[in-house]
Amino acid sequence: MADLFKLSAFDLVAKLKSGAVAPTQAVEAAFDRIAAVEDDIRALPTLCKDRALAAARQIEASGDARKHDPTWLAGLPIAVKDLNDVAGVRTTYGSPIFANHVPDRSDYMVERLEANGAIVIGKSNTPEFGAGGNTFNQVFPPTVTPWDTRMTASGSSGGAAAALAAGEVWMATGSDYGGSLRTPAAFCGIVGLRPSPGRVANGPNPFPFDTIAVEGPMARNVRDVALMLDAMAGIHPGDPLSLPAPALPFADAARPDDRPRRVAYSRDLGVSPVHKDVADACDRAVEQLASAGWEITEDIPDFSKAMETFHAIRAAYFAAGKSELVAAHRDMWKPDNIWNTERGLTQSGMVLAEAERQRGILFQAMVAFFETHDLLLAPCTCMPPFPVGISSPSELNGYIFKDYMDWLQLTAMLSITSCPILSLPVGLTPEGLPVGMQVCGPPRGDRGVIAAAFQMEKLLGLAGSVPIDPRKF
């Protein structure tokens, strides 16, 4: 059982369903691996072994009645991001205000995963309230990528991505507003899917009609991400946007199929600076796709107003959700989050109205784009992993970033389109750091994104690059 952590989630679930591995053995294997690597990456600050073993024993006692159910994970250990409530488990949201908070109830996503045989073994680290592309906070030590433990795992799902890359878990939950799931996936060389809004039920949520913040699956390869999405997806009465589970499992899409007929690729979406090492890795990947017969164009929608639109909507979101906490505990907030909240409180109604108008224009442009293209490809991040001590990058290629979110333009601009987007490892920098590419499909086209990403993964040959032992320099 010593090498269980090296198995894919798909293979381990098969062994759990067959009885070759017991859920308690999988839980023990996860905690053995955590003991071996956690001090180096600091990904899972809160663990719940007794709770996990109790759940494992309960699954063992229940028999194998669901072993043919594609949504059944059969006792697979997972990590849950510290933004999501898990009943009876410390949940801090990365904030000292909630440093000792223990919720009585889990959120909808966790309830569904546990009902489908997932076993929560701990909480993954996140920046304060999930804001920012570097996983540090005032409660726990910062999280680093196992590819180079001097570098950040990015954020805000940095703990989840690092835990997966180092083999602590086989699946982990992530969430994504401006790239919080995709950028850590890129910095840690794993796969993450920002699904269509409503694909994974969200709540209980004070903003149930929000379509930018989504929950999604993270794993080590495309097939495992699809398997996890099957266990997460489905309608919930508490989420007015939630979608029914698909008639056919998403995991069935992760298999060889006809290649996309037409794909657009952009290094920068016409807006963002991009580091040469990232651009070169993505260019090489696209060249491999073209050699395999994919038709590649450079035709993309106009994103020139997308970041301004994103900022206005995000600021209103902060003002609505965080203004009372900022007023009551200002000294306990990091400055970036205070800035975001105050921007929302002071921007005019006209600014927000124009942002909503521009978002509609961009959405219609994306709909038109997907009438002639199957996918839009772009880098996940504008730069490779940077030192963990840097809160957020200040400049790139002479471009001065305006704020802590500005370096995340490539993901943030696509967030407001409501399209499903998968982060896929596509190469390495000369220093051996992972580079990720966004695979964006049409609205509610999650299945097609998974199918295409699975083909890309096979063509590019990077599947199996993780888990790795943390690399200390």
pLDDT in tens, 330-370: 999 999 999 999 999 999 999 999 999 999 999 999 999 99
Q: What is the pLDDT of residue 262?
A: 94
Closest to 93 in 3D by CA, of 167, 175, 190, 152:
175
Residue 177 has pLDDT above 90, yes or no: yes
* pLDDT tens per residue across span 253-311: 987 777 778 999 999 999 999 999 999 999 999 999 999 999 999 999 999 999 999 99
Q: Beta strand 263-265 with 375-379: parallel, antiparallel or unpaired?
A: parallel
What value does the mean pLDDT take over residues 448-473?
95
Place of tokens 């955590």: 34
pLDDT band, residue 82 (cuts 50/70/90)? very high
Q: What is the pLDDT of residue 255?
A: 78
Rounded to whole angstroms, the Cα distance separating 131 from 109 reads 20
204 prior amide bond cis, ω within 30: yes
Angle, CA of 76, 81 and 84, to the nearest 5°? 105
User: Does residue 334 have an active-site annotation?
Assistant: no
- Check 95, 154, 156, 423 and give the catalytic one: 156
Kindly report the number of other CB atoms within 10 A of residue 255's CB atom. 13
156 prior amide bond cis, ω within 30: yes
Rounded to whole angstroms, the Cα distance separating 417 from 197 reads 10
User: Does residue 304 have an active-site annotation?
Assistant: no
Residue 415: which residues within 8 A CB-CB, separation 6 or more?
A: 176, 177, 178, 179, 194, 212, 310
pLDDT band, residue 440 (cuts 50/70/90)? very high
The mean pLDDT of the chain is 97
Residue 386: which residues within 8 A CB-CB, separation 6 or more?
A: 151, 152, 393
Q: Which long-range contacts (CB under 8 A, 24 or more apart) does 58-67 make?
A: 59/23, 59/117, 59/119, 60/22, 60/23, 60/24, 64/17, 64/19, 66/117, 67/17, 67/18
* pLDDT tens per residue across span 95-119: 999 999 999 999 999 999 999 999 9
| Structural domains present in the chain | 8-460 (3.90.1300.10)
- Check 17, 81, 322, 334 and give the catalytic one: 81
- Check 157, 180, 272, 415 and give the catalytic one: 180
User: Does residue 180 have an active-site annotation?
Assistant: yes
- Percent pLDDT > 70 in the chain is 99
Residue 314 has pLDDT above 80, yes or no: yes
Residue 439 has pLDDT above 90, yes or no: yes
